[in-house]
Chain A
Amino acid sequence: MIATEVAVACRNVTKDFGEGDTRVRVLQGIDVEVALGEMTLLVGPSGCGKTTLISIIAGLLDVSGGEVDVLGERISQMSGSKKTRFRLKNVGFVFQQYNLLPALTAAENAAVPLIVAGMARSKAVVRAKEVLTHVGLGSRLNALPTQLSGGQQQRVAIARAIVHEPRLLVCDEPTAALDAKSGQTVLELLKETACRPDRAVIVVTHDNRVFHFADRMITMADGRIESVSASNTEGGE
């Protein structure tokens, strides 16, 4: 896909944790852009600041310095409640441990963002079933998370992340808990269902087996951007 617009723009973003002598600067002046219509992989060794950066981009953490624009809005200056509303409308999440609600069926889990946004439950579940069918879980709509494999649970999580049509999808190590085949399937699914011209997908990963899915790859080290490569030819199996 070809990048046409900027979905995320970070300018000289810093982030500190702790106070006084224990203060640690985790992000040290990040300047990076993420384009709409692309799958961007954020890679780097553990502790380099990947998770902190996507947390800031997703509006889950405040910056210590710098500016962050997401989908045309200055998220770094938003109040907490405004960020909450922004996330509800614009951001979808895929977590490493899926974080599905164990008491809800696959369809009900996938419907959660719509219900949170105020849609009637029955209508939301119908829509969620459509998305689940699209991600290949049409036969497991009423299964509980404990009755699904890791790959299937991650598919439910993807369905949940995209069911409300967010324009930014943030995925944290979506393949870390999966075997190689399931990991490939999940990334294929993300690429196929989530990457659209009006949507940006950011995937934090250590898994070099999925690097070839990237439209753009941002490599971090020690709280800094080490390189940005705009191709899908690096890494991979």
Chain B
Amino acid sequence: MTWIALKMLTGDRAKYFGIIFGVTFASLLIAHQISIFVSIMARTTSQIRDVREPDIWVMDPKVRYLDEVFSLSEMDLQRVRGVTGVEWAVKMFKGTVRARLAGGNDPTSKGDFRSVVLMGLDDASLIGAPRELLPIPGVECSLSDLKKPDSVIIDEAGYSYLFPGQPHRIGQTLEINDRRALLVGICKAGSPFQSMPIVYTRYSQAMNFAPPERRLLSFILVQSTPGSSPEKVCELIAEQTDLQALTRQQFMDKTIGFYLTSTGIPVNFGITVLLGFVVGVAIAGQTFYLFTIENLKQFGALKAMGVSNWRIVGMILTQACVVGVIGYCLRMGLAAAFFESTKNSIALAGFFMRWQVMVGTAAAVIVIVILSSLLSIRKVLVLEPAEVFR
């Protein structure tokens, strides 16, 4: 019977491809939008993920997410260092500043202003520095170059944004808060949520670049002692300093939670995903239903010949599953092609499809297929075999 079901399904090519198109389109829309949504959410925490050495972030108790910084006092660093279970603690500055593309020694620069994310790293340890510097032809770059006066390292995407079309090279200068910043390296870094260039420098240098404020210490990065529980240390820090201490994971969850609950992003993507699902059900369901209606005489003849209702249901489900699987596989191919083709695009860097999205889309396809089949199954089940004589 499976063979007959498949022959019936593929007999009318136009309808067959129409149903597959419906499933493919719906699942592509669902998977694509969820992947982009998840990737955007991941971007909100890229700087937490990039800073791999510490396992605890300490901040003002009012901080709700990474980009909302309320400064701490220098004394807070000492207080945190005094908490039991703290192996080391260093300071970090994070803020958004305006950089001017200096025109003096760069004939291609127009002297435009750009907002950049400034990351001030502990002068001594450079904790939080980027892991990977890009090779520059003829130059030996290293993180220790950050210790040179006025030096900064810019992420690759930021470099392309600030110096579009230019080959990777160092020695260019920027003006940040009327101070000269000398580019000593280009690094790989996670793309930030706002797609702004990330400029790394020493903490003391960042104090010069940042606008004058009474306090500038954004975060205290903490490593717990070996064998101690970071969660426990966080509790101790909060208890003894009245500051907010979160593990990396907790801070990432809190940041993502903020964007989920306080922005329209999930609603917008959710609507698109829902529309994809509804359109998928509508296209696949309607085409599949019409396909069944057109084959009603044949199903009736089969019932008259002695094919039971259960076998008819099996045939319809087989047909539905086949279009579901083919549609899903086509979707996978299209989505993979999209993310493969955009993997080198700086604007879409870090966008990829997670296995959870693939599983979730498969579940959505199953639901689409079941919903599409239900109407058809009902129509065939209520069909009197005697109808074939009418």
Binary interface encoding of chain B residues 361-390 relative to chain A, with 1 for a CB under 8 A from any of its CBs, else 0: 000000000000000000000001110111
Assembled-state Cα–Cα distance A116/B385 (Å) = 16
User: Does A113 have its Cβ within 8 Å of any Cβ on chain B?
Assistant: yes
A116-143 interface (Cβ within 8 A of B): 116-117, 121
Known: A93-B304, A101-B298, A113-B305. A60 touches B10 (CB 8 A): no
Chain B binder among A2-10, A68-76, A82-90, A209-217 = A82-90
The answer, among A89, A102, A104, A108, for a CB contact under 8 Å with B306, is A89
Stretch at the interface among A50-58, A179-187, A191-199, A219-227: A50-58
**With A and B bound together, what is the CA distance between A93 and B298 in angstroms?**
13
- Tell whether A97 is near chain B: CB-to-CB under 8 Å: yes
Question: Total interface residues on B, using CB and 8 Å?
Answer: 26
Contacts A58-B304, A60-B384, A88-B306; A115 near B389 (Cβ below 8 A): no
Bound CA–CA A121/B2 (angstroms): 11
CA A93 to CA B388, docked complex, whole Å: 10
Using an 8 Å CB-CB cutoff, how does the interface string of B52-77 with A read, 1 for contact, 0 for none?
00000000000000000000000000
Task: Check B249 for interface membership: any CB of A closer than 8 A.
Answer: no
In the complex, whether B143 has a CB less than 8 A from a CB of chain A is no
Residue of B nearest to A93 (CB): B304
With most chain A CB atoms within 10 A of its CB, the pick from B7, B303, B385 is B385
| Closest B residue by C-beta to A55 | B386
Q: Mark B1-16, 1 if CB is under 8 A from A, else 0.
A: 1011001101110000
Docked CA distance A104–B302 (Å): 14
Cβ-based interface call for B115 (8 A): no
Asked whether B305 lies within 8 Å of A87 as measured between CB atoms, the reply is yes
Q: What is the total number of residues of chain A having a CB less than 8 Å from a CB of chain B?
A: 31
Task: Indicate if B345 sits at the interface (CB-CB under 8 A).
Answer: no
- Is B97 an interface residue when CB atoms closer than 8 A count as contact? no
Which of B11, B301, B386 contacts A103, CB < 8 Å? B11
Which residues of B are interface residues toward A (Cβ below 8 A)?
Answer: 1, 3-4, 7-8, 10-12, 297-298, 300-308, 311, 384-386, 388-390
Bound Cα distance A61, B306 (Å): 13
Q: How far is the CA of A172 from the CA of B297 in the complex (A)?
A: 14
CB-nearest residue of chain B to A104: B7
B contact residues around A117 at 8 Å (CB): 306
**Known contacts A60-B384, A61-B386; A93/B301 CB under 8 A:** yes
Given A61-B386, A85-B306, A93-B305, A101 and B3 contact (CB-CB distance below 8 Å): no
Q: Are A101 and B384 in contact (CB under 8 A)?
A: no
- Given that A61-B384, A172-B389 are contacting pairs, would A103 and B8 also be in contact in the complex, using a CB cutoff of 8 Å? yes
Of all A-B residue pairs in the complex, the 10 with the closest CB atoms, nearest first, are: A88-B306, A103-B11, A99-B301, A60-B386, A55-B386, A87-B306, A103-B7, A60-B385, A51-B389, A172-B389
Choose one: A61, A97, A108, A112; the contact of B305 (CB below 8 Å): A112
Contacts of B306 in A (CB 8 A): 84-89, 91, 113, 116-117
Given contacts A60-B384, A93-B301, A116-B305, contact A101 B7 (CB under 8 A): yes
Query: Shortest beta-carbon distance, B71 to chain A, in Å?
Result: 73
Q: Once bound together, how far apart are the Cα atoms of A68 and B302, in whole Å?
A: 23
Residues of the A chain whose Cβ atoms lie less than 8 Å from the Cβ of B298? 99, 101-102
Whether a CB of chain B sits under 8 angstroms from the CB of A22 is no
B386 near A116 with CB under 8 A, answer no
Given contacts A87-B304, A102-B11, A103-B11, 7 further A-B contacts (CB under 8 A): A86-B306, A88-B305, A88-B306, A91-B306, A96-B389, A99-B298, A112-B305
CB distance from A55 to the nearest CB of B (A): 4
Measured in the bound complex, the distance between the Cα atoms of B4 and A150 in whole Å is 23
- Can you list 8 A-B contacts (CB < 8 A)? A93-B388, A95-B301, A95-B388, A101-B8, A101-B11, A112-B302, A116-B311, A121-B3
B311 to chain A, nearest CB (A): 8
CB of A154 to closest CB in B, whole Å: 14
A153 to chain B, nearest CB (A): 13
Output the residue of A61, A91, A93, A113 with the most chain B CB within 10 A: A93
Closest to B301 in A: A99
| Distance A96 CA – B12 CA, assembled complex (angstroms) | 23
- Contact at B389–A55, with CB atoms within 8 Å? yes
- Tell me, in angstroms, the Cα distance from A104 to B390 when the chains sit together: 23
User: Does B307 contact A116, Cβ atoms closer than 8 Å?
Assistant: yes
Contact B7 A108 (CB under 8 A): yes
A181 to B305, CA, bound (A): 28
Q: How far is the CB of A216 from chain B (nearest CB, A)?
A: 21
Contacts A51-B389, A84-B308 given; indicate if A115 touches B297 (C-beta within 8 A).
no
CB distance from B302 to the nearest CB of A (A): 7
